[in-house]
Structures are given as structure tokens and as C-alpha cells.
Amino acid sequence: MKTGIISYGYYVPQYRIRVADIASVWGKNTLEIERGLGVKEKAVSTAAEDSLTMAYESSSMAMKGQTQPIGALFFGTESPVYAVNPSSTILGELLDIGNNYLAYDTQFACKAATGALISAIALVESKQIKSGLVVASDKAASRPHDALEYTAASGSVSVIVGEKNPILTIEGWESFSSDTPDFWRREGIKYPSHGGRFTGKPSYFKHIAGSVKTVLSKLRYKPTDFTYAVFHMPNGKFPVQVAAQLGFSTEQIKKSLVVSELGNSYTASALMGLVATLEYVKPGEKILFASYGSGAGSDAFVFTATQLIEKKRLMFSKKMSEKKYIDYPTYLKCMRII
């Protein structure tokens, strides 16, 4: 039996705010920003939502029909509801998975969940647990008037790793880590800080190249072996550029580029691109998946879809079209800024 993803779930809040409606408040040129960032609008969660409530939404979807006991629950976020107190156990309690599980919360900027995914895979593969639930969830905060305001969004994705009846098998993984301070937030400080253009070449591009090139060489794959590729999406430009640099075509990444409509849901960003792709992938097709977390690191995975994907894929694009636009004051109310 091969270890893989046996189930998944996602949650995107219904509210959207257009880049245009943010730019007009600050007297900025909408077209310039849309073109520069490759983003038109982003998803906004309400004032009644946080990373935990969204995690409940995506994980309860993933848990539907699951019978395998959950032996581990890992919660990756960079907007935890407590500075000290596990969200993983609150979620575990709400999902009624009993008490015999390992729980921990992780933080590593936008790759908090994919790092935990690797741990879950290892525990399942070594037969120490039957299945593991990995949750990514963020209600990303950004300082008003900062560039991040156009992209920082909300969302959650949950995946269950197991051996029985996977819909995606995991061929292998690689992680590339270094100390690169491109984006950080100190204790007690409300909004993150970033290094501007330093977040590009020495950060995002270097680490994704690092993990992807290694996993391809280790498993002896070329970019053309893959039907799809998914890269972390801090904006609409970076994933397109890194794909080209690594030899992937725009066709391969097209389905995953949800950022232009949803914004960047941080830990859920790349995983949301994977969810979008799973709506289309056919049995036997391969997906190259690479996350990026500032600070910095990248986790790359090679997935192969199984026959079961036909029955178990989730609708996504239709759900994305069920949205309601809000104005800037409502956005501030949702983000608890007013």
C-alpha cells in the first residue's frame, strides 16, 4: 500500500474585495497594481471567523465519510488564535476524534502546513499511525495602505494522509531550508514586516528552485513528466516566473493560479492551488507541488492521481463563483480594524 492523500477539504469565505476598491481609498492606480501583482480581488473572512473556524470548515469537509482513526492532527497557520494554546486540540475536540492522537501547531510562514504534511507522511509510512489530518488555515492581516493589503487573504485547506485508498499517492518529497529574513513578525507587533524586493530572488525563487530541483533529480523526473505544477502564490507573478525558470509551462500551472481571484491565503495558498488542480487531474497524471515559507524554506512533493480521484474530487470552480463583493469599510469591519 502506498501512502497518499486519502481525503481533502477546503474553505474559502464568500466575501471578496476588489483591488480597485482598496486602491481608490489610497489614491493608487488600480491597473498598475493589478498588472504588477497579477491579482484582481481577494477573499475576506467575516469578523465572526478566524483561522480556527475556517479550519473547522475545511477539516469537517475532509473528514466526511472517513473511517480511519486520526492518529495525528497538525495545524499550520501564521494567524493563530492564541499565542500560547494549541488550536490543533480545539479542532480535534470539535471533530470528535477522541483523545488518542498526537497534536501540534506549527508556524513557518506560508509553509507551516506543508512541513507538517511531511511529518504526517512519515508517521503513516512507518505505520505508527493509520491516518493524519493536516490543516492549513489563515486569516492574513495586513497594515492598511501597505502593499500586502491587496493580497493578504483568508482560506483553509485540510488533507488527510493515509495508506488506504489514496486519491493521490505521494512519490516523494524534498525540503530546502535556510535562514533568510525576507518576511517576519515580532511578538506583540500586529502586522508583519518584509524586505521588499529581497522577498524575490534570494527568497521565494531560490528556495523553490532548491526543493524542486532536488526532488526532480532524486526521483528522476523532468518537468515534462508532469501534467500539472502548483507553486506557492504570494501574488500572480511569482508562480508564473518560477514555473518558467524551472522549465514548466503556463499550461501546466494555469489551473492552480487561484491567487488572482482569491488573494494569498498564506499557509493555505499553495494547497488551494492544489485543490483547484484536483478538480481536473486524471488518474495516472502527475502533479509537482512546491510551497514556500518566508524565513525561509520550501517543501516540494510529487503526487500521482489514482483511479479514485474520479469519484472523490471536489467541485471548486463553481464554489469560487459564489461570491459577494464588499466595500472598504465592510472589509475593515471584517478584519476587526474598525
The verdict on 48 binding other proteins (CB under 8 A) reads yes
- Contact between 267 and 85 under an 8 Å Cβ cutoff? The reply is no
* Residue from 28, 313, 319, 333 binding other proteins (CB under 8 A): 333
Could you list the active site residues? 78, 110, 232
For residue 23 the three cell numbers come to 486602491
How many CA within 13 A on the CB side of residue 12? 31
Nearer to other proteins, 26 or 325 (CB): 325
Classify residue 89 as exposed, middle or buried by CB count within 10 Å of its CB (0-12, 13-18, 19+).
middle
- Contact between 204 and 235 under an 8 Å Cβ cutoff? The reply is no
CA-only gyration radius of the chain, Å: 19
Q: Using CA atoms, how far apart are residues 19 and 13, in angstroms rounded to an integer?
A: 17
* Residue from 8, 56, 266, 292 binding other proteins (CB under 8 A): 56
Binding to other proteins in span 133-162, by CB under 8 A? none
Binding to other proteins in span 8-27, by CB under 8 A? 13-14
Stretch that binds other proteins, among 1-9, 40-48, 106-114, 238-246 (CB under 8 A): 40-48
Nearer to other proteins, 27 or 188 (CB): 188
Q: Using CA atoms, how far apart are residues 168 and 6, in angstroms rounded to an integer?
A: 7
Nearest to 268, CA basis, from 172, 159, 174, 179? 159
Nearer to other proteins, 90 or 113 (CB): 90
**Per-residue x/- track, 64-103, other proteins (CB under 8 A):** -----------------xx-------x--xx-x-------
- E strand map for 88-221: 102-106, 131-139, 154-162, 168-180, 183-184, 193-194
The stretches of 43-144 forming alpha helices (DSSP H) are 51-63, 87-94, 112-125
Nearer to other proteins, 14 or 30 (CB): 14
Q: How far is the CB of 71 from other proteins (least distance, A)?
A: 20
The verdict on 326 binding other proteins (CB under 8 A) reads no
Count of residues near other proteins by CB under 8 A: 21
Sign (positive or negative) of CA dihedral 123, 100, 9, 7: positive
The verdict on 315 binding other proteins (CB under 8 A) reads no
Stretch that binds other proteins, among 46-54, 66-74, 147-155, 215-223 (CB under 8 A): 46-54
Q: Using CA atoms, how far apart are residues 11 and 57, in angstroms rounded to an integer?
A: 6
The verdict on 327 binding other proteins (CB under 8 A) reads no
Q: How far is the CB of 46 from other proteins (least distance, A)?
A: 7
The verdict on 324 binding other proteins (CB under 8 A) reads yes
Nearer to other proteins, 282 or 324 (CB): 324
Residues at the interface with other proteins (CB under 8 A):
13-14, 46-50, 52-53, 56-57, 60, 81-82, 90, 93-94, 96, 324, 333, 336
